[in-house]
Amino acid sequence: MENQTNTIKILFFGDLVGRPGRFAVRDYLLEAKMTQEDKLFTSPVSPFIIANVENASHGFGLTEKNYNDLSEYGINCMTSGNHIWDKKEIFNYIDGADKLIRPFNYPAGTPGQGSHVFELANGVKIAVINVLGRVFMSPVESQWTLVRDEILRLKEITPVIIVDFHAEATAEKICFAKFCSELGVSAFFGTHTHVQTADEQIINGMGYISDAGFCGTRDSVIGMEYKTSLNRFTTCVPERYDVADGDVVQINAVEVEIDSISGHTVAIRRIFKLEDKKEKEKEHEK
């Protein structure tokens, strides 16, 4: 294992679904800071926190208010996906939202940024790229050459490069991940399916998971209300999804440790935690 004195931590949360997802992450981070849970916040430099937020505002898109709230919770970078445009107010603020990244392979001239370089207090720079898959998804620009060129550009700035690949097909995720590992990407997090996979691993020095999962109501259909989902499947009649509500929320995340000199992941840990909101309320009342 490489010299740990140069390691930085990245904490990546799977898709936040509605208010339950936002508040679950808020409470998780608050508790982690208070209790130093899993030694997340005991390093000289706090972990760099990334969350996929394309479903954060009632399940579809992201409002400016929620963007500001999530920033206050301590999220350093927000990635997204195909639902980023669902709240039309996004066009009013995305160009000034320096923490928010939309998929890189939208056509040239699309508002917002597809990648961004963040600088930590200790001077370490972290590049984050958001990419959309094309299999079973709406057509976008091919990611292969486009993203390769962007990774090579960012490698001139920093060895630490993070990819959020928002895609449906696991085969596309695995293949694109191997492609990115050969280019020196540090960590690769799959998103979009809202089902956390159990294949976390290190590929050629790159931390990898096919899907980080989601943060939101446990008793749901990938964060959405069961009966609405059932109606859509059984009747084929369009019906608006509603975010599920319930007492138990789940937090899906992945933590990686990266050597800031080489850019290689040296450790990876998958997080799946359940919290009972009523039990939490009782604890606060004591």
Q: What is the DSSP letter of 146?
A: H
What residues make up the domain containing 52? 7-217+249-285
Q: Which residues are catalytic?
A: 83
**In-domain check, residue 99:** yes
Structural domain contains residue 242: no
In this prediction, residue 138 carries a pLDDT of: 87
The pLDDT of residue 185 is above 90: yes
* pLDDT at residue 271 greater than cutoff 80: yes
H or E element in which residue 148 lies: helix 143-155
Confidence grade of residue 130 (pLDDT, cut at 50, 70, 90) = very high
Q: Is residue 223 part of a domain?
A: no
Q: What is the average pLDDT score of the chain?
A: 93
Residue 232 resides in a domain: no
Concatenating the DSSP letter of every residue in 152-205 gives: HHHHTT-S-EEEEEE-S-HHHHHHHHHHHHHTT-SEEEEESS----S--EEETT
Percentage of the chain lying above the pLDDT 90 cut: 86
pLDDT category, 1, cuts 50, 70, 90?
very low
At 285 the pLDDT is 53
Contact 56, 65 (CB under 8 A): no
Q: Decide if 244 is inside a domain.
A: no
Q: What is the mean pLDDT of residues 267-281?
A: 87
Greatest CA separation for the chain: 57
31-74 pLDDT tens trace: 887 765 555 544 555 799 999 999 999 999 999 999 999 999 99
**Which pLDDT does position 283 carry in this prediction?**
61
Instruction: Report the CATH number that the domain containing residue 49 is assigned in CATH.
Output: 3.60.21.10
Q: What band does 4 get if pLDDT is binned at 50, 70 and 90? A: low
226 occurs within a structural domain? no
* Two tokens, residue 169: 């097909």
* Main-chain dihedrals φ then ψ at residue 118, nearest 5 degrees: -105, 145
In this prediction, residue 2 carries a pLDDT of 43
C-alpha–C-alpha distance, residues 120 and 116, integer Å: 13
Q: Is residue 156 part of a domain?
A: yes
Q: For residue 183, is it within any domain?
A: yes
pLDDT in the model for residue 45: 55
pLDDT at 46: 77
pLDDT digits (tens, 9 = 90+) for 160-182: 999 999 999 999 999 999 999 99
What is the helix, strand, coil percentage profile of the chain, to 5? 30, 30, 40
Domain count, the chain: 1
Q: For 83-127, how does the pLDDT look when each residue is reduced to its tens digit (9 = 90+)?
A: 999 999 999 999 999 999 999 999 999 999 999 999 998 899 999
Q: Give dist(CA 190, CA 193) in Å, integer.
A: 9
The amino acid occupying position 14 is G
Distances (CA, A) of 94 to 51, 123, 146, 270, 278: 16, 26, 22, 30, 36
Kindly tell me the sign of the dihedral angle through the C-alpha atoms of 173, 120, 44, 215: negative
pLDDT, residue 211, reads 98
